[in-house]
Chains A and B, each alone.
Chain A
Amino acid sequence: MHVLQVEPQLVENYVATGQLSLVFSPVVELGAGSLLASKTAECAGQQNPLAFWQMHELLFAEQSQLWNATPELMVQFATELGLDGNQLQSCLADPAIAAKIDRMFQARNALGIRTRPSFDLNGQIIQGALPYANFAQLLDQALAQ
């Protein structure tokens, strides 16, 4: 819900104006599909940093397919975004990518964050998804300070 409904409005109203930057930190708690999707986004980012965010959006849009996802499906997604499928497939097998994802996941756990999703707005932890209006209110309050 957040990525497909709230995030586009955040991007349009706050990111595009230079007031807000977004960071995605992967949580890999739901098995092989979680890890494969996270790897795919990271590998897309290796080819082009903006492609990380494009793949991140595509993966959420195709979330229903991720439970039984295969590397071949990930290559198909990469091709849809104009990325090099072969390069992505090689990247998925790179242990450095898995290590990077684990590092980010452990960093999240070290902060004591357990709820999925959770957000960190300039150090303020928000647990659970919020409608856009609530985010906008929080962001406006923070900008006014």
Chain B
Amino acid sequence: MMQTLMRWSVALLALLLLPACRPTAEPVAELSTPTVAPTETVASIEPTPTLAEATLPPTSALTATVVSETPAWASTVTIEGDYYVLGNPAAPLRLIDYSDFL
């Protein structure tokens, strides 16, 4: 009889302790969630190659702009009042030639 009681009490104790054991399993599940985060930080490296690619087009585009916008000053003539100005009208230097064709 005594043995039967002991067995029942052990079984009861086990039943009571079982729910108490569950919380230990939950933190493990919570820990597993943050471990996913490093995967995301790896993904953040990806912008580097796209940045490197992005720097190339502006350089080549700038070069093209400089070439295409360089005026042919030796064949550029603007009219200022009575005069035909050859070259860059905003050039730092201007030479006026007072001459007779003869």
> Which A residues form the contact surface with B (CB < 8 A)?
2-3, 7, 10-12, 14-31, 33-34, 37-38, 41, 45, 49-50, 52-53, 56, 59-60, 63, 66-67, 100, 103-104, 108, 113, 116-122, 139, 142-143
B47-81 with Cβ < 8 A to chain A: 71-75, 77-80
Pairwise interchain contact B74-A20, C-beta atoms closer than 8 A: no
Pairwise interchain contact A116-B99, C-beta atoms closer than 8 A: yes
Pairwise interchain contact A143-B102, C-beta atoms closer than 8 A: no
Pairwise interchain contact A63-B86, C-beta atoms closer than 8 A: no
Q: List 13 A-B contacts (CB under 8 A).
A: A2-B99, A15-B86, A20-B91, A24-B99, A28-B100, A41-B101, A45-B84, A49-B79, A117-B99, A117-B100, A120-B96, A121-B93, A142-B92
Pairwise interchain contact A10-B101, C-beta atoms closer than 8 A: no
Interface size class of B (residues with CB under 8 A): 20 to 34
Asked if B17 is an interface residue, CB under 8 A from chain A, the answer is no
> Which B residues form the contact surface with A (CB < 8 A)?
71-75, 77-80, 82-89, 91-102
Pairwise interchain contact A53-B102, C-beta atoms closer than 8 A: no
Pairwise interchain contact A116-B98, C-beta atoms closer than 8 A: yes
Q: Which of B74, B75, B91, B101 has the most CB of A within 10 A?
A: B101
